[in-house]
Structure formats: structure tokens, C-alpha cells
């Protein structure tokens, strides 16, 4: 792993061999060193801060972080979005940032990079050679190693600083003895000893590049990948600590938001009110209300606004809702097709049909997608059934075919009997997973989709449980207010009804007295 990168030296090449080899390559440094500082250039090498993408929350663009910002944020848990992403997504990894292909930033970056490397080549080929860009490049590579090699390996870092010392390099250049290619060999040696195993092949290929300019260009590209490895290594090492402290951190930030928005969060209140459960046991009523409220996300009405407290997880919720819709429809299609014995009684045929239906519905996210693609699904189901029956010299009657077609095409309607049944089973299973420690067996109709359904339910449970741990106190307070106001309204209505009843009862007696 990158964090103990130089421990690999002993298993490959001894440190003394590495140092001696480097010294033999770079021992041409003459006496006095120049004191001039390295000139920074507006080029590919002038800003070697590798940038990483942090996915944006709903309504906000992705955040672009430098290596130093990632390291500081992880160390201090000072970025709420990063802490939330790490806590919610156990598979989260930082990704390198690259501008969109057709963007102006991408074109400018490409032009600037090409200009830098062309200028470097022209300087090295000049007579006499010029080394301004080469010295700047080596300085940036030296700085890059500080992001690749752990600070625990101070001996290695000291050696890199010694060999890639700017004063020595500039002095060699002034004396006309700078061997730029020799430095590339030294750098590749260090990269081979400090990279993660996954980068071994890419680093070894650097030795095959004879063109020194192309070699350095590729060196920087591979170093960027090594920085990515190191950033993710730091993230993995800190994951447990971040998860342990992220809830309190997000609670703290949320309380700050509440101070800034004293009016509260109306969409969150409306969301809870829609799912309010009336029960004699107030605690039980709140628990059921929150479960129902979270379950609503799997079948969200687009006319409603999402609650503010779910803003950072909106994309995840929509993805889970799309997956739930897709699983329900796939299960419904297979259930209908299984009414034909050649499918229902032949496991291999059923699984083959299932795979084909999954491919056809892989992009389904909502009911509109189902309506658009259900005709193709029917045609594929029909083709598979007829093909399998033909192999057995069987015939599908016109009546059976029409019934199958009608039932499958009806799945574009959420109220179709089979789809409605499968949806109730899916929701019941998700509810069981959410409220129990052990994962229950999948319901009938989902046996062939058990892994997908379990993954959906567990992701939903993890997401909503984390959300509750952060915002649960606020939600329960809102529910207390709603229940209190509901109780007050109920009491007032009862008193009003009682008063009306009393008035109605007394009126005849009063009239009788007046008559007398």
C-alpha cells in the first residue's frame, strides 16, 4: 500500500543498491551551487496539485478538492459532505478530476500541456541545451513524492530531496553536465519502490520509453495515479474514525443550520405529517410514522417536494427508488411468464428469461420508463416462450398468448394486480429488514432476485438509519409538536361537540318553561 511504500525496497532492491545506483547516475554534480530560486511556470508542471471529485448533493455541483484539501478534510473531519459520503457509502473512493470532454477547460488544458511539452523538447534540443523547464519539472516531481510517500518514511524523503535538490541540478545545468535522462531513471526507480502493487505494470513500462520528454510526460501521469492511490489509502485508514465521529459532526452542523433558518423546514414537516400514525402509545406512533415516512421515498410522488433533511442523499434515494421499481417489474414479468410450464417448471429457462428481462429493463427508473419499454419486454418474453416450446414440440394457444400479452403490457400501470402484489411484498421485505437485526428470507416471487433485493434493502436501511441518527431528534420534536397540536385540535373539537350537544338538549326545556 502507498502508506508503507518504501518498505518494499527490501523485497525488491536493497536501499543501498538504490542509493548507489542513483549516485552513479547523478555523481556529476560539481562544486558550488547556484542560489537562484526555481522559476514557477504556467504549464503542466507548474501546478501538480492533483484534484479529486467529491460527488455533489442534490442541487449542487460536484466539489473539486486538491490532495492537501482531501488530507486536511479527512484528518480534521471538516467537510460535512465528505464525512457523510464516507459514512454512508462503504465503497466510496475518490476519483481523479478531469474536465468534461467538450468543455473549454478541457481544450485549454490540453493546449497548455502540449505547449509545455513542445517547449521542453525544443529547450533540450537547443544548442546549447536550455534547462529552465526541465528544472521546474524535476522540482514538481520532487514535490509530488511528498504526496506519494508517507511522512513515516523520512529517510526516503530526505534522499529524494538530496538527489532532486534544485541548487545541485541548476549547477549541473550551468556547467553543461546535467543528464536529464539519468534523472528519469532515478525517478522511475523510486516510483517502482513506492507505488501500490496495482501500478507495478504501468511503472515498469516507463523504462521502455526511450524519448526522454515522452518518458517524463508519462511519469507525471502515473504519479497522478499514485497520488490517487495514496489519497484513497488515507481515506481507508481514517474511515472508521470518520464514521464514528461523523454523526456528531453532522448534528453540530445541522444545529448551526437551524439557527440560520429559525423558520424550520416546512417540507420536512409536511413529509412527516403525510405519514403520521395515530396510536394510543405515543412512542409507538412516532416510530411507525418515521418508518412510513422513510418507506415513502421508494414510491415518491413527484408532486411533493423532498424534505430538506434528505438533501445530501437525494440522488441515493432516487437511485434506490428506481432500483425498487425495476426489481418489482422484473419480478412481475417473470411471475406472469412462469404461468407457462416451460418457464415456470424449468429453472434454467426461467433464469435465462430473467437475465434477458434484466437487460431490457436495466435503465428503468420510473413508471414512464416502464411504459416506454414494456412492449419490447413482451416481445422478448413471447420469443423466449415460443422458442422453448418449439424445442419440445409444444404450441402456445392464441388464448394463452393473448392473456400473457395483456398481463405483461398492463404492468405499465402501477395498479396492475401482479405488479401491485409484487410491490407489497417488496415493501414488506424492506420494512422487515429495516426493523430487524437479521435479514429475513426474501418473499415469494423474488427468489431469483434475492441478492439484488437484499442489497436494496440493506442500502436503504443503512441510509435511513444514518439519517435518523443525525436528524432523528429534530424529527421527533416535530412529531411531538404535530401530535400535541393534533391532540389539542381533537380536544377542542370534542369540547365543541359536547357544547353543541348540551345546547341541543337544553333548548326544548327552555321553550317549555316559556310556554308555561
- Cell 534522499, located at residue: 159
Encode pLDDT of 444-489 as tens digits: 999 999 999 999 999 999 999 999 998 999 898 888 887 777 655 5
> Measured between alpha carbons, how far is 188 from 210 in angstroms, rounded to an integer?
13
C-alpha cell at 415: 395498479
Q: How confident is the model at residue 21 (pLDDT cuts 50, 70, 90)?
A: very low
pLDDT score, position 235:
82
> Measured between alpha carbons, how far is 37 from 35 in angstroms, rounded to an integer?
6
Tell me the HSE value of 38 on the side-chain side, using a 13 A CA sphere: 23
pLDDT score, position 327:
97
H helices of 261-363, where? 266-274, 282-296, 314-337, 341-344, 347-360
With a CB cutoff of 8 Å and minimum separation 6, the contacts of 472 are 290
Instruction: Please report, for the chain, the start and end positions of each structural domain, with discontinuous segments joined by +.
Output: 2-245, 266-480
pLDDT at position 294 over 80:
yes
C-alpha cell at 505: 338538549
pLDDT at position 296 over 60:
yes
Q: How confident is the model at residue 153 (pLDDT cuts 50, 70, 90)?
A: confident
- Looking at residue 337, the DSSP 8-state letter turns out to be H
pLDDT score, position 495:
58
What are the residues facing 96 on neighbouring strands? Answer: 52
pLDDT at position 84 over 90:
no
pLDDT at position 126 over 60:
yes
pLDDT score, position 463:
93
Closest CA to 405 of 368, 369, 372, 380: 380
pLDDT score, position 194:
87
Encode pLDDT of 377-420 as tens digits: 999 999 999 999 999 999 999 999 999 999 999 999 999 999 99
Q: How confident is the model at residue 249 (pLDDT cuts 50, 70, 90)?
A: confident
> Measured between alpha carbons, how far is 185 from 204 in angstroms, rounded to an integer?
11
Q: How confident is the model at residue 508 (pLDDT cuts 50, 70, 90)?
A: low
**Residue 128: which region, alpha, beta or left (left: phi > 0; alpha: psi -120 to 50)?**
beta
pLDDT at position 137 over 80:
yes
C-alpha cell at 79: 467537510
Q: How confident is the model at residue 24 (pLDDT cuts 50, 70, 90)?
A: very low
C-alpha cell at 147: 504526496
Question: Which percentage of the chain shows pLDDT scores above 70?
Answer: 79
User: Mean pLDDT over all residues of the chain?
Assistant: 81
Q: Is 216 exposed, middle or buried (0-12, 13-18, 19+ CB in 10 A)?
A: buried
8 Å CB contact between 45 and 137: yes
Q: How confident is the model at residue 127 (pLDDT cuts 50, 70, 90)?
A: confident
SS3 track for 162-210 = HHCCHHHHHHHHHHCCCCHHHHHHHHHHHHHHHCCHHHHHHHHHHCCCC
More confidently predicted of 154 and 506: 154
User: For the sheet containing 63-66, what is the strand order?
Assistant: 63-66, 51-54, 95-96
Closest CA to 255 of 63, 471, 507: 471
Average pLDDT estimate for 491-496: 57
pLDDT score, position 18:
38
pLDDT score, position 236:
83
> Measured between alpha carbons, how far is 80 from 311 in angstroms, rounded to an integer?
13
> Measured between alpha carbons, how far is 174 from 262 in angstroms, rounded to an integer?
67
Closest CA to 273 of 46, 93, 483: 483
Weakest-pLDDT range from 62-76, 169-183, 284-298: 62-76
Question: Which percentage of the chain shows pLDDT scores above 90?
Answer: 39
pLDDT at position 358 over 90:
yes
- Cell 485508514, located at residue: 237
pLDDT score, position 490:
53
Residue 97, SS3 per DSSP? coil
With a CB cutoff of 8 Å and minimum separation 6, the contacts of 399 are none
Encode pLDDT of 312-329 as tens digits: 899 999 999 999 999 999
Closest CA to 67 of 56, 55, 80, 54: 54
Q: At what angle do helices 450-515 and 80-88 cross, to 10 degrees?
A: 110
pLDDT score, position 494:
54
pLDDT at position 28 over 80:
no
> Measured between alpha carbons, how far is 12 from 372 in angstroms, rounded to an integer?
59
Q: How confident is the model at residue 45 (pLDDT cuts 50, 70, 90)?
A: very low
Q: How confident is the model at residue 23 (pLDDT cuts 50, 70, 90)?
A: very low
pLDDT score, position 510:
46
Encode pLDDT of 224-237 as tens digits: 899 888 888 888 88
- Looking at residue 95, the DSSP 8-state letter turns out to be E
Q: Is the pTM of this model over 0.75?
A: no
**Residue 96: which region, alpha, beta or left (left: phi > 0; alpha: psi -120 to 50)?**
beta
pLDDT score, position 92:
81
Amino acid at each position: 500500500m502507498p502508506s508503507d511504500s518504501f518498505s518494499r525496497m527490501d523485497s525488491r532492491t536493497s536501499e543501498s543498491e538504490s542509493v548507489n545506483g542513483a549516485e552513479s547516475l547523478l555523481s556529476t554534480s560539481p562544486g558550488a551551487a547556484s542560489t537562484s530560486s526555481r522559476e514557477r511556470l504556467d504549464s503542466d508542471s507548474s501546478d501538480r496539485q492533483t484534484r479529486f471529485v467529491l460527488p455533489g448533493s442534490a442541487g449542487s455541483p460536484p466539489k473539486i478538492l486538491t490532495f492537501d484539501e482531501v488530507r486536511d478534510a479527512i484528518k480534521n473531519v471538516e467537510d460535512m459532505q465528505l464525512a457523510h459520503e464516507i459514512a454512508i457509502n462503504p465503497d466510496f473512493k475518490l476519483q481523479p478530476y478531469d474536465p468534461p470532454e467538450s468543455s473549454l477547460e478541457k481544450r485549454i488544458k490540453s493546449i497548455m500541456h502540449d505547449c509545455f511539452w513542445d517547449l521542453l523538447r525544443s529547450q533540450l534540443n537547443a544548442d546549447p541545451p536550455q534547462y529552465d523547464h526541465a528544472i521546474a519539472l524535476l522540482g514538481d516531481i520532487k514535490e509530488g513524492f511528498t504526496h506519494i510517500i508517507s511522512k513515516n518514511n523520512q529517510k526516503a524523503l530526505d534522499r529524494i530531496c538530496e538527489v532532486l535538490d534544485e541548487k545541485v541540478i541548476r549547477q549541473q545545468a550551468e556547467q553543461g553536465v546535467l543528464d536529464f535522462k539519468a534523472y528519469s531513471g532515478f525517478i522511475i526507480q523510486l516510483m517502482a519502490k513506492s507505488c501500490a502493487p496495482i501500478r507495478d505494470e504501468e511503472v515498469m513500462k516507463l523504462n521502455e520509453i526511450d524519448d526522454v520528454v515522452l518518458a517524463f510526460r508519462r511519469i507525471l501521469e502515473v504519479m497522478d495515479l499514485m497520488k490517487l492511490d495514496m489519497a484513497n489509502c488515507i481515506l481507508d485508514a481514517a474511515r472508521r474514525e470518520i464514521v464514528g465521529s461523523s454523526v456528531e459532526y453532522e448534528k453540530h452542523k445541522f444545529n448551526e443550520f437551524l439557527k440560520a433558518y429559525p423558520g424550520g423546514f416546512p417540507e420536512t414537516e409536511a413529509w412527516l405529517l403525510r405519514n403520521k400514525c395515530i396510536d394510543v402509545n405515543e412512542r409507538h406512533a412516532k416510530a411507525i410514522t418515521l418508518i412510513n415516512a422513510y418507506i415513502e421515498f421508494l414510491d415518491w410522488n413527484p408532486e411533493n417536494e423532498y424534505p430538506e433533511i434528505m438533501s445530501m442523499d437525494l440522488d441515493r434515494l432516487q437511485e434506490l427508488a428506481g432500483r425498487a421499481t425495476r426489481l418489482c417489474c422484473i419480478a412481475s414479468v417473470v411471475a406472469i411468464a412462469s404461468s407457462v410450464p416451460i418457464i415456470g417448471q424449468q429453472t434454467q429457462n426461467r433464469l435465462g428469461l430473467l437475465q434477458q428481462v434484466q437487460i431490457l429493463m436495466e435503465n428503468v427508473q420510473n413508471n414512464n420508463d416502464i411504459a416506454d419499454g414494456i412492449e419490447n419486454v413482451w416481445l422478448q418474453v413471447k420469443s423466449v416462450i415460443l422458442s422453448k416450446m418449439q424445442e419440445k414440440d409444444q404450441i402456445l394457444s392464441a388464448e394463452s398468448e393473448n392473456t400473457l400479452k395483456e398481463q405483461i403490457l398492463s404492468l405499465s400501470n402501477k395498479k396492475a394486480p401482479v405488479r401491485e402484489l409484487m410491490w407489497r411484498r417488496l415493501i414488506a421485505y424492506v420494512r422487515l429488514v429495516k426493523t430487524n437485526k437479521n435479514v429475513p428470507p426474501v418473499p415469494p416471487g423474488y427468489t431469483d432476485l434475492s441478492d439484488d433485493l437484499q442489497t436494496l434493502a440493506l442500502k436503504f436501511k443503512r441510509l435511513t438509519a444514518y439519517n435518523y441518527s443525525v436528524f432523528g431528534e429534530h424529527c421527533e420534536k416535530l412529531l411531538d409538536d404535530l401530535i400535541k397540536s393534533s391532540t389539542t385540535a381533537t380536544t377542542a373539537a370534542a369540547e365543541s361537540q359536547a357544547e353543541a350537544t348540551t345546547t341541543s338538549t337544553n333548548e326544548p326545556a327552555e321553550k317549555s318553561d316559556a310556554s308555561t
